[in-house]
């Protein structure tokens, strides 16, 4: 492959302003390149990030699958099952899951807990408009993967079901 530019003769003549512009463009590109090399796979430096997505995925065949679910219980006894990761279209999936996990974190002080519960309840209410909810439960569910062609999960019987926590909905108003 020949790395010369066949259009070089046709290139627009460059004025001093063009030269300054080119220097600015190359400076920005150079700084970005140095930035990429510096940040590595750290994504907390967004928007200066590289693309390390899914680098560690698929190392082995899944033996079990876990999912964080919410059970919203209505006044008429009806139970609504919600996937924690799908609570909001705006928040990334695992951010929604982290919000749910944190709400039921034992380390929260009472006022933080009340606030977190009220805000989670508001998110669930907006996902279930018109439903008179009385209790919210968070469940960590795990299913073993059954060998097969293709492998499957027995959805009706999770291998493990851990209640992360629950709260009643009366008086769960956000503090701010």
Partner 1 sequence: MSAVDRLNETLDRWLTGPEANAAGRIGLFRIVYGLFYLWLFSRFDYTVLGRTAQVVWRPIQVDRLLPSVPPVAVLQALECLLVFALVLLIVGYRVRLVTAVVLLVGVALEVFRYSFGKVDHDTLFMVFYLPLFMLMGRWGATYSLDTVLKAHRTGTTIAASDSSWRYIWPMRAILLLLGILFLSAAYWKSTHGTWESNPATLSNFLLSTGLGQVADGGTLSPVIGLLVRLPLVTALMQAGMMAFEALFFLSLFNRKLRNWFLALAVIFHAANFFLLQVNFITQVSAYLLFVDWQRLYARWLAPSIARVRFPRLPLHLWVGAVLIVALVTAVLWGEVPSVRLVLTFGGLVTADTIWLVLLPVAVVVWLRSSLTLLRSLWKRARTGNLPAVNAPN
CB 135 to partner 1: min, Å: 19
Site for partner 1 in 45-104 (CB under 8 A): 45-47, 49-62, 65-67, 81, 83, 85-86, 88-95, 98-99, 102-103
- Residues present in the chain in total: 176
Nearer to partner 1, 24 or 134 (CB): 24
Q: Which of 18, 132, 160, 173 binds partner 1 (CB under 8 A)?
A: 18
Does position 11 interact with partner 1 (CB under 8 A)? The reply is yes
Residue identified by tokens 């019987």 is: 157
Site string for partner 1, 29-48 (x = CB under 8 A): x--xx--x----x-xxxxx-
Nearer to partner 1, 60 or 76 (CB): 60
**What ranges in 5-134 are assigned the alpha helix state H?**
16-39, 93-103, 110-127
Does position 128 interact with partner 1 (CB under 8 A)? The reply is no
What is the C-alpha to C-alpha distance for residues 112 and 104, in angstroms, rounded to an integer? 11
**Sign of the C-alpha dihedral computed for residues 44, 107, 123 and 175 taken in this order:** negative
Does position 16 interact with partner 1 (CB under 8 A)? The reply is no
What is the C-alpha to C-alpha distance for residues 50 and 7, in angstroms, rounded to an integer? 32
What is the C-alpha to C-alpha distance for residues 152 and 138, in angstroms, rounded to an integer? 24
């Amino acid at each position: 492959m020949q790395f010369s530019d066949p259009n070089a003769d046709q290139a627009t003549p460059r004025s001093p302003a063009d030269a300054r512009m080119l220097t600015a463009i190359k400076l920005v590109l150079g700084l970005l390149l140095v930035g990429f090399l510096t940040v590595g796979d750290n994504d907390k430096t967004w928007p200066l990030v590289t693309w390390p997505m899914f680098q560690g995925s698929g190392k082995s065949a899944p033996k079990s699958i876990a999912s964080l679910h919410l059970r919203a219980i209505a006044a008429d006894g009806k139970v609504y099952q919600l996937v924690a990761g799908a609570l909001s279209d705006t928040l990334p999936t695992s951010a929604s899951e982290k919000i749910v996990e944190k709400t039921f974190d034992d380390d929260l002080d009472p006022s933080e807990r009340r606030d977190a519960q009220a805000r989670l309840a508001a998110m669930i209410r907006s996902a279930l408009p018109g439903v008179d909810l009385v209790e919210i439960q968070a469940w960590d569910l795990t299913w073993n993967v059954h060998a097969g062609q293709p492998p499957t999960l027995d959805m009706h019987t999770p291998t493990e079901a851990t209640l992360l926590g629950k709260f009643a909905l009366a008086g769960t108003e956000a503090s701010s």
